[in-house]
Structure 1
Amino acid sequence: MSARIPETVAELAGEAPVELVWRNELGGLTYRVEAGGSVRYIKWQQAGDLAADERDDVDLLLESEKMRWAGRFIRVPRVLGVGADEHGSWLVTEGIEATPAVDPRWRSRPEDAVRAIATGLRRMHDALPVDTCPYRATWSTKYRAELPEAEHLVVCHGDPCMPNTLMDREGQFAGHVDLARLGVGDRWSDLAIATYSISWDINLGRNYDDLFLSTYGVEPDEERIRAYLALWDAPARDVSHGSAVPIIGE
């Protein structure tokens, strides 16, 4: 194993091969571990001084709670283990037989990827119960004064960028990953960022808003779209959107 692999990750992997599949600028790493025909993912976040918003995005203990809660209603990776020590924190999940919507195979079928992302968000928004959700979306609590009144409250993904939607072999929606920001908020906080992410050069590189919104089943709300895009692009929120591409699945 490479010396660059954190000691805790190496211990969790045992003798199985370890492949780095994702990295963020906050010290977060995700490894793919395959052994005996099964796949696990190990997220590792090194300890360090982070701003409050940054800590929210990489709190693996809280993310594990959110995954277990959401997993009662929708398909997300099953949590196998979680922990922390003075060096950092880790989250181990079971792999889903799927690939992210940014996988090269879907670049030749971009409409399928767009439909899968929209379908996945609609299923999440319809399935997760707002009244009993114990979590609140970050923007709903910290930036309330800058936002229009919510059009329709749902349990939001919180980071609905293309890599966080999984697709099965047939090109259908298969599950969600990276739920650290999950919580109750305006559904447009998800819809605005999902469509924005699709258009980035690192993803599909063009606008598919009409297809996305028609698949989801809603007319565009330009006021709310502008509001959430402005917050996303604000320097205070300029964290990991689009700077790294996870390759989750098989």
Structure 2
Amino acid sequence: MFQLTGDDWEPVTVGESDTSVYRRGDVFAKCCAPDGVPELAGERDRVEWLAGTSLPGATVLDWLESPHGACLMTTAVPGIPGTELPEPARSKAMHSLGRTLRDLHELTDCPFERPLESVIATAEDVVRRGAVNPDFLTDEWRLLDPSELLARVLAERPSIERGLELVVCHGDACLPNVFFDPSTLEVTGLIDVGRLGVADRYSDLALTTIQVHDEWSADPGPFLAAYGVPDPDQRRLEFYRLLDPLTWG
């Protein structure tokens, strides 16, 4: 693992990444071992691309690489993550969240792609290795072998592929990755964009709506209305909600 110099870096323990994350003032440092360099470099490139658009986010400050791995340094995004918003603020925040995700999906000329074929291939590899994290599964899904869950995904795949709506997606559009101004409740930035790329818009909508339901205990209706899809395709939402937890491992 790449080691930072200096003793004033504070470790950040939230998140599910295999990298080590540190903060010093308004700078974040994400470090990885040699085998994680290609993935972290991909995240660096995505942060740089997003910073050149109209969407708020982090800015790359430095990239350090050695035989021990690499380190990506970025600016801190102001505000607080969506998971820390108090209950009275969440309804209003859903409107900003919906508009921001729609703005992201309306970006053009994205050089990164995340085709469904490659996402399913990742899920197949994770399941084959027995690396599915049960913490990411619902109580119902934990009762089944991951291979059965994957079989459900594969059975639905032809139908989903016929209705793909390709846009620039975040790839992990969960509330911890969206920051808000606690006063105005406007979105101040998107973080952890390592999976950003052209994909089906429902891959983002599925994660955000289930997060609003689970983390905020709220009806995602206001979010969906602000996004512009008040009556989403529930079958597609369920497909991506099942597929996503099979891709982490």
CA 1:109 to 1:89, structure 2 compared with 1: closer, same or farther past 3 Å?
same
Deviation track 1:47-90 (CA, whole Å, cap 9, x = no partner) reads 45xxxxxx69x811111111111211122101001233232221
**2:86 matched to 1:106?**
yes
Higher relative contact order (CA 8 A, sep 6+): 2
Hey, what does 2:112 align to over in structure 1?
A: 135
Task: Report if aligned partners of 1:81, 1:92 keep a CA contact under 8 Å in 2.
Answer: yes
* Amino-acid identity (%): 28
Q: State which of 45, 59, 73 in structure 2 corresponds to 1:65.
A: 45
Deviation at 1:136, TM superposition (A): 0.8
Hey, what does 1:87 align to over in structure 2?
A: 68
Hey, what does 2:212 align to over in structure 1?
A: 198
> Structure 1 residue runs of 4+, over 4 Å off?
23-26
Hey, what does 1:228 align to over in structure 2?
A: 240
**2:57 matched to 1:45?**
no
Partners of 1:136 and 1:162 lie apart in 2 by 22
Partners of 1:66 and 1:25 lie apart in 2 by 19
Hey, what does 2:223 align to over in structure 1?
A: 212
Q: State which of 22, 32, 51 in structure 1 corresponds to 2:13.
A: 22
Task: Report if aligned partners of 1:152, 1:187 keep a CA contact under 8 Å in 2.
Answer: yes
Name the amino acid aligned to 2:82.
A
CA 1:112 to 1:32, structure 2 compared with 1: closer, same or farther past 3 Å?
farther
Deviation track 1:162-212 (CA, whole Å, cap 9, x = no partner) reads 011111132111111111001101111100111112223xx22x2422121
Hey, what does 2:171 align to over in structure 1?
A: 158
Deviation at 1:24, TM superposition (A): 4.8
Partners of 2:97 and 2:77 lie apart in 1 by 16
Partners of 1:26 and 1:172 lie apart in 2 by 26
Partners of 1:140 and 1:215 lie apart in 2 by 30
Deviation track 1:13-55 (CA, whole Å, cap 9, x = no partner) reads x46x322223455532221211xxxx1111122345xxxxxx6
Name the amino acid aligned to 2:113.
R
Task: Report if aligned partners of 1:120, 1:165 keep a CA contact under 8 Å in 2.
Answer: no
Task: Report if aligned partners of 1:79, 1:91 keep a CA contact under 8 Å in 2.
Answer: yes
Structure 2 length-normalised TM: 0.75
Stretches of structure 1 that go unaligned for 5 or more consecutive residues are 1-5, 49-54, 240-250
CA 1:22 to 1:199, structure 2 compared with 1: closer, same or farther past 3 Å?
farther
CA 1:107 to 1:8, structure 2 compared with 1: closer, same or farther past 3 Å?
farther
Partners of 2:177 and 2:225 lie apart in 1 by 20
**RMSD over aligned Cα, in angstroms?**
2.5
CA 1:188 to 1:27, structure 2 compared with 1: closer, same or farther past 3 Å?
closer
Partners of 1:143 and 1:7 lie apart in 2 by 31
Deviation track 1:137-168 (CA, whole Å, cap 9, x = no partner) reads 25353439723334421110000010111111
Hey, what does 2:136 align to over in structure 1?
A: none
Structure 1 length-normalised TM: 0.74
How many residue pairs end up in the alignment?
210
